[in-house]
Amino acid sequence: MITEIEHHRGGARSAAFIGIVVLMCASAMTFSALVSAMVVRRGLNATDWHRISLPHILWWNTGILLLSSVAIDLARRLLRRGKRTEFNYAWTAGTVLGTLFLIGQVVAWNQVAGDGFRLQHSLSAAFFYVLTWAHAAHVVGALGAVGYVEYRAVRYQLGPANRTVVDVSAMFWHFLDVLWLGLMALFAFWS
């Protein structure tokens, strides 16, 4: 049986892609607002800006998040080729790595707080927490979508012609990667 996947203007698949891109724009605007608030505040008076020491685990978390993205994209490609069992393995790996990232973030928050940088302690710490929390909230939401795909995948409800939810979730997951890399660059070089 040969089926073509619908991808034309007006199709559900095409609409889903537009929807997720627009959602990513909204998230990007929220983060731009928070980041520009941080940059402007730092520019107003740099003398009382305490540089926080980034815990090493954040770099491990970055690696884990990137790996999860690789796994999820591998899974997406496998599904497109119709390899549904392999897709399940790769997607599950991505889900587990994504959850690990979240656990790693909790550890990182504890370490930053342990160094004396509590939320109320200084503005630099407060901006660090707000940005990482906002990112983590996005990851929790995205894990919901990824978990939903997982739920349907293990029941073999997804196939090469029914993979919009997979593509859309993967796209958002990669977006969170890029967002995180941006945040790490900000913390490492600018905070």
Partner 1 sequence: MSERLDAPANLSLFETASLSVERQYLTGLRIRSQSDPGVRATQAELYGGVAGTGQVVCDYVPELALRTSIFSTDHRIIARQYFYLSLIAVLFGVVLSILMRFHLVYPQAQVKWFAWLWPVKASGGVMTPELYLSLMTLHGTLMVFFVLTLAPLNAFGNLVMPEQLRAEGMAFPRLNMLSFWTTVVSFLLLIASFTCQDGGPLSGWTAYPPLSALGPIAGPGQGLGQTLWFFSIGVFCIAATLTSINFIATVIELREPDMGMMQMPLPCWNWFVTAILSLLSFPVLFAAGLLILLDRLAGTAFFLPGAGGSPLLWQHLFWFFGHPEVYIAILPGMGTVSHVISTYSGRPIFGYRAMVYATIAIAFLGMLVWGHHMFVSGLSPYSAIAFSVLTMAIGAPSAVKTFNWIATLWGRQLQLPTAMLFSLGFISIFVTGGLSGLFLGQPQIDAYFHDTYFVVAHFHLIMGVASLFGIFAGTFYWFPLMFGRNLNERLGKLHFYLTFVFAYTTFLPMHFAGFAGNPRRYADFTTFDFLVPVMPLQKWITHSAFTLAAVQLIFIWNLAWSILRNDHRD
Q: What distance lies between CA 27 and its chain's CA centroid?
A: 11
Among 72, 56, 46, which Cα is nearest to 104's?
Answer: 56
Contact track, partner 1, 50-89, x by CB under 8 A: ------------------------------x-xxxx----
Q: Which two tokens stand for residue 42?
A: 């730092």
Residues in 8-37 that interact with partner 1 by CB under 8 A: 9-15, 18-19, 22-23, 25-27, 29-34, 37
Contact pick of 141, 147, 159, 182 for partner 1 (by CB under 8 A): 159
CB of 59 to partner 1, least distance (A): 26
Distance from C-alpha of 29 to C-alpha of 161, rounded to nearest angstrom? 33
Listing DSSP states for 147-168 in one string gives HHHHHHHTTT--BTTB-HHHHH
φ/ψ of residue 50, rounded to 5: -90, 120
| Cβ-based nearer residue to partner 1, 44 or 189 | 44
Piece in contact with partner 1 (CB under 8 A), picked from 60-68, 141-149, 156-164, 182-190: 156-164
| Cβ-based nearer residue to partner 1, 22 or 189 | 22
Q: Which two tokens stand for residue 167?
A: 């593509």
φ/ψ of residue 160, rounded to 5: -55, -30
| Cβ-based nearer residue to partner 1, 64 or 131 | 131
CB of 118 to partner 1, least distance (A): 9
C-beta neighbour count of 40 within 10 angstroms: 9
Greatest CA separation found in the chain? 69
Among 46, 188, 62, 191, which Cα is nearest to 135's?
Answer: 62
Contact pick of 59, 148, 156, 190 for partner 1 (by CB under 8 A): 156
Contact track, partner 1, 161-180, x by CB under 8 A: xxx-----------------
Binding interface with partner 1 (CB under 8 A):
1-7, 9-15, 18-19, 22-23, 25-27, 29-34, 37, 40-41, 44-45, 48, 80, 82-85, 119-120, 122-123, 126, 130, 134, 155-163
